[in-house]
Amino acid sequence: MKALVLEEKGKLSLRDFNLPRDIGPHDVRIKIHTVGICGSDVHYYTHGKIGPFVVTEPMVLGHEASGDVLEVGAEVAHLKPGDRVCMEPGIPDANSRASKLGIYNVDPAVRFWATPPVHGCLTPEVVHPAAYTFKLPDNVSFAEGAMVEPFAIGMQAAVRARIVPGDVAVVTGAGPIGMMVALAALAGGCARVIISDFSQPKLDIIGNYPGIQTVNLGQTDLPSFVASVTGDWGADVVFECSGAAPAILGLPGLARPGGTIVLVGMPVDPVPVDIVGLQAREVRIETVFRYANVYDRAIELIASGKVDLKPLISDTLSFENAIVAFDRAVAQRPEDVKIQIRVNS
Ligand SMILES: [Zn+2]
């Protein structure tokens, strides 16, 4: 079966690739419909590694997927052939200590699609555990289903923040994840979200949503702006989504006394942190790594219409054009948020 294979750093090919096709009693076989391209897929393509994860042999890319169930294992009760689904790409060890605690996202044994040495889902068919496969309501499209994975990070950030109704939030960084976090924060009860970036096209896209104010960092000083719109008090919750060192150093200047900071962005290298600035406000710090137990809630919010991710899908290319789609994602056009690949239609 054909797959989009990262042969080595900088080299993609669309070619036949052997993946395990055996279906266990708790698995489902899925015909892949749509796969979104993630920043991590692009990073493996351009750098051949992310932190300790290094591509040493050919690896199939892709982890943001939706599709149709083709076949279910003998013990699967909640899905049947023909169901439209999306998949959670990280599979933990069900017997691990982390899984028992409900924090399976930080299980050291988790196997995550398109993270070496685990293959991804940019191929017409995959076998996946039913427990990590979620039925899509009729009014949620395959394209939206493939957006559940990045939106789940926003959901995790909103959960970790412990948002209280009416909170005012700041999101630093308007990349795809910053946008997802802003929308999840609003859906999770924030009254309004202030989002900052240097890229005006990105701010224009996310600023179209009601409840979101944008700040262009090239023109406006973010701490002064936040102070001016919060009565010199600060934001209840600050979501750091840029991973940029200056943004992280400036976090204490955005949060209110007793507020919360959620670290979502991942700096490539260790960065300085203003500990005393944080202490002086007794800020609570939370961190986010992927997500756990939020897929069903993410799907509910999309189906209810409270979260509309469709404006964030910038373009959809065919499977035959998968390499073109990746090169488009590498180009990082400022007006592109999410590029998707339609594998089967
Ligand atoms: Zn992703």
Is the residue at 28 inside a domain?
yes
Cα–Cα dist 210/258, whole Å: 27
Let me know whether 143 and 158 are in one domain.
no
- The SS3 call for residue 141 is coil
Ligand 1 midpoint to CA 121 (Å): 12
Q: Report whether 189 contacts 164 (CB < 8 A).
A: yes
The pLDDT of residue 21: 86
Ligand 1 midpoint to CA 246 (Å): 25
Mean pLDDT value of segment 123-134:
97
Domain span at residue 164? 154-287
* Residue 345 confidence (pLDDT) above 80: no
pTM of the full structure? 0.97
* Residue 320 confidence (pLDDT) above 90: yes
Ligand 1 midpoint to CA 313 (Å): 14
Count the domains in the chain.
Answer: 2
CATH number at residue 244: 3.40.50.720
Ligand 1 midpoint to CA 230 (Å): 33
The pLDDT of residue 334: 94
Phi/psi for 257 (5° steps) reads -55, 130
Is the residue at 78 inside a domain?
yes
The HSE-up count of residue 83 (CA atoms within 13 Å, CB side) is 21
List the structure tokens of 326.
């990746």
Per the prediction, the chain carries an average pLDDT of 97
Q: Is 186 exposed, middle or buried (0-12, 13-18, 19+ CB in 10 A)?
A: buried
Task: Give the model's confidence band at 255: pLDDT under 50 very low, under 70 low, under 90 confident, else very high.
Answer: very high
- Note the pLDDT tens digit of each residue in 167-205: 999 999 999 999 999 999 999 999 999 999 999 999 999
* Percent of the residues in the chain that have a pLDDT greater than 90, as a whole number: 98
Q: Which DSSP helix (H) or strand (E) runs through 113? A: none
Ligand 1 midpoint to CA 115 (Å): 11
Ligand 1 midpoint to CA 152 (Å): 9
